[in-house]
Amino acid sequence: MKRRQFIKKAGLTAGTVITAPYILPSGRLFANTGARVVNHVVFVLFGGGIRNQESIEQGFISNQPGQSATGNIMRNMLDGAEPTEALDVFNYAGGNSMWDPILSTPLSKQGAYFKEVLYGEGPTGHYNGHTVAMTGVYTETGLNLNVNPEFPTIFEYYRKHSDPARSAMNAWWISEGLGPYPSLNYSRYPGYGAGYGANYMRPLTLFFEGQPGSRQLQDAILYQPDDVARINKIKSILDKNFDETAADLPGIQNTADHREEIKAFYVETLEKVQNGGMEFPLPYDNPNLLTGDLVAVAGAWEVLNKFTPELTVVNTTNLDICHSNFTGYLNFLHRADYGVGWLWDKIQSHPVLADDTIMVCIPEHGRNLMPNNLQDGNGMLAFDHTSDANSRRLFSLIVGPDDKVIRQTFGNNGVATAESVDIVPTIAHILGFHEDIPNGLLNGRVLTEAFL
Amino acid sequence: MQMFEYFFLFIFSALFALSSCKKETKVINETVVDNYVYEINQVAVYQNNIEKTRQKTPEAFLSGLYANLFQSPIEANTLSDLSLIREATGDKQMADELFLNNFINAGGTMIPSNIQMRADLDLFITETYLRFYLRMPNPYEVFELKKVIDEDENLTPELVYQAFGLSNEYKFY
């Protein structure tokens, strides 16, 4: 063999050995790339069913019979001038005016703004709208079922495919309401499930005056670690003498240490609420203006501030009142927008989260083009969501550090440039595990155009 | 007329026969239990923990826990509140630990004092097993628990009760 041939062959062999894939103990062909855009994602499921007419088109009440006033009532999220007439609409539920925005620059100018997003398939219901957004798979289920989704949630993908695997303390699902929502922290999918699920809580039930938590947990105390160890020591002796285990309790289970941390968080948060020390997204410190959505957002902030989880999902749903009350819908939309702006503002002030967090916002579905027959006190007609083309129109925001997330608007021509199923792969991309999700599980794509 | 007499006699005989043909039966009112009956609390007691194979529902667990600690039934409103808190929390084990913590520290629970516990450990252990597990402890269980309590003067009855309430066996029936 000539010297030149030898060198060529040896080089090829060495190159092949170096680049050849190998089977890891986990069964993967390649090691997790782990390349992340940032280390924290906050996903706001800006839910309840929002029409693009009142959000991105800033139609205000102009789509009501005999009304012409237009304007932007979401000035924390969207760019545009506020309404200047028909402002008595905001005399609602303790309020008497519009709220000044908390953000000097709207979120649509702080990241990628997808003006038209498509909810492609399946009925536009709250449960399945949430399910689609959190699993990245369209579903035909049309009922608000109190069951875990069929396909893995973003929490399970995150916990199973991150390297090293993450604990439930890093994944939180915080909802405005109960009903079907507590079931969305893990799926029924084989190989995933509760073992990879997220911590879940509904702050309103747990922490607020007059609610079950304030009535039934007010005497709970924090034990010293020594006493916790004593309880666990006796428990382990008792468990040793019993063959059955309660490990198959429904729901996720944290480690003993993390349970203690979360218990401490519960007790401290209850005390904060009772002492007036908890922060809420309220512009005038007027508790009468508080909504369930804003309580959920405040609870999400408490979790973010305390545990700095890598993946947090929070929803708002109050504006679903639109089934019977359009005025209420506008007001809840306006206040939820303030809550999202407040949350982003808080994140920017946090030493760990600032500049290392991307926030994603999307409604779970829209609402119908045509109203139903119900009128509210202002004579405004209400809107349902029964899977017409308009109820499949959404928008989305992906905001984050200016060296990571592009400042650009997509879909200016009214054509959808993204789908609701794209959110899960996009979050997986941000947190660096998209390549490790098995092929065929997700319907959507990574919205790569949102990132620099 | 004679026919009428025959008819009357037949009816009378039939009534007599029916009333006199009642089968003699003996009612045996015997209580058959496969467990002992603990006379003070009037509840069935398991012979051992192998009989417990089914996991309690959350409501059964919570109402039983409340009754064991307060020696009175839980109110419907309280049970409803606890169920909602459990629903509003992802980690159910953690929720149960918080409930137990709250019960113990709320006051009003029927728990022996530390002095009472240490004055007669055998009695305390037996009564605690009966209260939570509805069975007598075996000699080894008494020995083990007695040893742990003896060795740690800071181990209070409240902490022992919490360990029983959180144990696997307590979640089964």
- pLDDT score of B18 more than 50: no
Of all residues in chain B, the one with the smallest CA distance to A236 is B167
DSSP code, position A183 = G
Residue A92 maps to a domain: yes
Residue A411 covered by a domain: yes
At B130, list the tokens.
Answer: 């009966």
pTM of the entire structure? Answer: 0.86
Pick A201's closest partner by Cβ from B89, B105, B106: B89
Q: Are residues B163 and A232, on separate chains, in Cβ contact within 8 Å?
A: yes
Answer whether residue A6 shows pLDDT above 90.
Answer: no
* Most distant pair of Cα atoms in chain A: their distance: 94
Structural domain includes residue A233: yes
| Tens of pLDDT, residues A182-229 | 999 999 999 999 999 999 999 999 999 999 999 999 999 888 899 999
Q: What is the mean pLDDT of the segment spanning B142-150?
A: 96
Q: Is the confidence at residue A39, as pLDDT, over 90?
A: yes
Name A11's Cβ contacts closer than 8 Å, sequence gap at least 6.
none
* Burial class of residue A163 in the structure, from the number of CB atoms within 10 Å of its CB (0-12 exposed, 13-18 middle, 19+ buried): middle
Write out the residues of chain B at the interface with chain A, using a CB-CB cutoff of 8 A. 49-50, 52-53, 55, 78, 80-82, 84-85, 87-94, 97-99, 101-102, 105-107, 141, 144-145, 148, 152, 154-155, 159-160, 162-164, 166-169, 171-172
Q: What average pLDDT score do residues A376-382 get?
A: 97
Establish if A33 belongs to a structural domain.
Answer: no
**What per-residue confidence (pLDDT) applies to A245?**
80
User: How many domains is chain A partitioned into structurally?
Assistant: 1
Rounded average pLDDT over B116-124:
96
* Alpha-carbon gap, residue A92 to A164, rounded angstroms: 49
The residue that leads in pLDDT, A117 or A16, is: A117
Which of A178, A216, A314 is the best residue to mutate to test the B interface, defined by the most B CB atoms within 10 Å of its own CB? A216
Does some domain include residue A201? yes
Q: Kindly tell me if the per-residue pLDDT of B113 is higher than 50.
A: yes
Q: Cα(first)–Cα(last) distance of chain B, in Å?
A: 76
pLDDT per residue as tens digits for the range A47-68? 999 999 999 999 999 999 999 9
Q: Which of A143, A138, A133, A144 is nearest to A122 (CA)?
A: A138
CATH number of residue A142's parent domain: 3.40.720.10
Q: Is A92's pLDDT higher than 50?
A: yes
Check pLDDT > 60 for residue A234.
yes
ipTM of the complex: 0.89
Would you state the pLDDT for residue A414?
A: 84
Chain A: residue nearest B58 by CA?
A: A249
Q: Is the pLDDT of residue A17 over 70?
A: no
* Domain extent listing, chain B: 36-171
Q: Is residue A30 part of a domain?
A: no
User: Which residues lie closer than 8 Å to A421 by C-beta, 6 or more apart?
Assistant: A120, A132, A136, A137, A138, A442, A443, A444
Looking at per-residue confidence, does B6 or A83 come out higher?
A: A83
Q: Count the residues in chain A.
A: 452
The shortest C-alpha distance from A317 to chain B (Å) reads 16
Distance CA A68, CA B5 (A): 105
Residues 6+ apart with CB under 8 A from A31: A24, A163
Domain-located, residue A305: yes
Domain range spanning residue A340?
A: 38-450
